[in-house]
Amino acid sequence: MKTETSVQNERRHFLKRLGAGSLAAIALPVFGNESHAPFVAPPSGDAPDEKYWEQIRKQFAVPPNLIMLNAANLCPPPAAVNEQVKKMLDGLEKDVSFQYREQFSEKRKKAVELLAGFTGVAKEEIGITRNTSESNNIIVNGLDLKPGDEVLLWDQNHPSNGSAWEQRAKRYGFTVKKVSVPATPQSVEDLIKPFRDAITPQTKLLGFSHISNTSGIGLPAKELCKLAAEKNVLTLLDGAQSFGFLDLNLKDIGCDFYTGSTHKWFMGPLENGILYVKKESAGNLWPNIISAGWKEGALTVDEKYCMLGQRNESTLAGLVETVNFHQTIGKKNIENRVVQLNTYLKDQIKSKVPGASFVTPLYPELSGGVTIISFPGKKPAELSKKLYETHGIAAAPTGGIRMSPHIYNTMSDMDKVVKALQALSV
């Protein structure tokens, strides 16, 4: 077990380890519309205060009597994104001609460019899918693996990066090995060692969730990718719980593949995902979805792996607005706010709800934006139903009571949540 000082030192560096970059807030133009108050970038140099976040809250249509703590599953988009999507859908209802829809190809290109900047990669290396599940499956089904090869997975992976591999292994005869980490990790090393010990000369790929949706544990992505790269092992980093929350730079993290959903922490339009394939790793990956727009020798990830045929182009059109929203507030400010909300929530639960036990580590360095607790002897599904129906709090019954606050939550929301949990615990 680590001493308190060593844990504190690790705390300081852990968000970096998770892959968070250090971009300062970028002040962009004010966004707004007739029906919602405009929102502005926070004053440069200062961390935004509670008043600022209360203004941001007004950009979301969630009614004041509902506290949304479900970012790990789905996030409401801000007004600017909603309005863009609605406008585009409205336009499509009136005109489905090729001529009218040319604008959507332009918007997709622009979105790819912005998403590349957002994640720190080249625009040729990123594509738009429907969600993390699809992006994960593109990797699972795109690599050549044969008997004797091993795929190493975290046992907390989502089925799209777990069962998906097992199905493919049954068909092609390679081996899937799963790694556990301690339920209550005390240090970053506790999270690295099980993977280090499990890699063998047969290991071809390491696949892991950046942050677990069932425990809230956050893995040190940069260290794990480095460890894998040193042994010529490819890495699939499932970013469903980090994309849109962490201020990340995928080049710095060093993964080969990264996946995410725009409808989770990114607060973007429904049913869009991202797929990053490192340029140097694209030669190993076969496309497995081919439709109009695909061509032999396609040079970009979007053209090579993400041509799915006709899609709901109006939702794709909301991606540009979503990136603008993040950049106006500042990616680092968003990350810090989510950590602040979770840290406060954990501290308050720890001191005021003695019946609760934590599934998620208390240290922010070993966890992400997700806080999961349980009440021994009580069923999470019943508790979260009661939270929603009696207290107007939307948490998920995943791994316990899963609470995932985001920038549309305030500190006063966290106080209300703690009061509700106190009532549940008696």
- Closest to ligand PLP by CB, 78 vs 268, is 268
CB burial of 98-117 (b: ≥16 within 10 Å; e: otherwise) equals: eeeeeebeebbeebbebbbe
- Closest to ligand PLP by CB, 248 vs 424, is 248
Tell me the C-alpha to C-alpha distance, in Å, between residue 218 and each of 63, 67, 215, 362, 406: 31, 24, 9, 11, 17
CB of 264 to ligand PLP, least distance (A): 6
DSSP string, 184-241: S--SHHHHHHHHHHH--TTEEEEEEESB-TTT-BB--HHHHHHHHHHTT-EEEEE-TT
- Closest to ligand PLP by CB, 67 vs 237, is 237
CB of 118 to ligand PLP, least distance (A): 18
CB of 106 to ligand PLP, least distance (A): 26
CB of 311 to ligand PLP, least distance (A): 15
Three-state DSSP class for residue 129: strand
Please state, in angstroms and rounded to a whole number, the distance separating the CA atoms of residues 398 and 44: 38
Asked whether 150 and 125 are in contact (CB, 8 A), the reply is: no
CB of 40 to ligand PLP, least distance (A): 30
CB of 165 to ligand PLP, least distance (A): 13
User: Which long-range contacts (C-beta less than 8 Å, at least 24 apart) are formed by 10-13?
Assistant: 10/187, 10/188, 10/363, 10/365, 11/363, 11/364, 11/365, 13/365
- Closest to ligand PLP by CB, 217 vs 323, is 217
- Closest to ligand PLP by CB, 273 vs 287, is 273
- Closest to ligand PLP by CB, 238 vs 413, is 238
DSSP class of residue 413 equals H
CB of 26 to ligand PLP, least distance (A): 27
Binding site for ligand PLP (CB under 6 A): 73, 131-133, 158, 160, 209, 213, 238, 240-241, 261
- Closest to ligand PLP by CB, 157 vs 249, is 157
Question: Beta-carbon neighbour count of residue 288 at 10 Å?
Answer: 12
CB of 259 to ligand PLP, least distance (A): 7
Three-state DSSP class for residue 66: coil
At position 340, the amino acid (one-letter code) is Q
DSSP string, 78-112: PHHHHHHHHHHHHHHHH---HHHHHHHHHHHHHHH
CB of 107 to ligand PLP, least distance (A): 21
- Closest to ligand PLP by CB, 209 vs 360, is 209
Measuring CA to CA, which residue among 273, 324, 338, 261 is closest to residue 80? 324
- Closest to ligand PLP by CB, 10 vs 134, is 134
Please state, in angstroms and rounded to a whole number, the distance separating the CA atoms of residues 21 and 178: 29
Q: What's CA 64's distance to the chain center, in Å?
A: 25
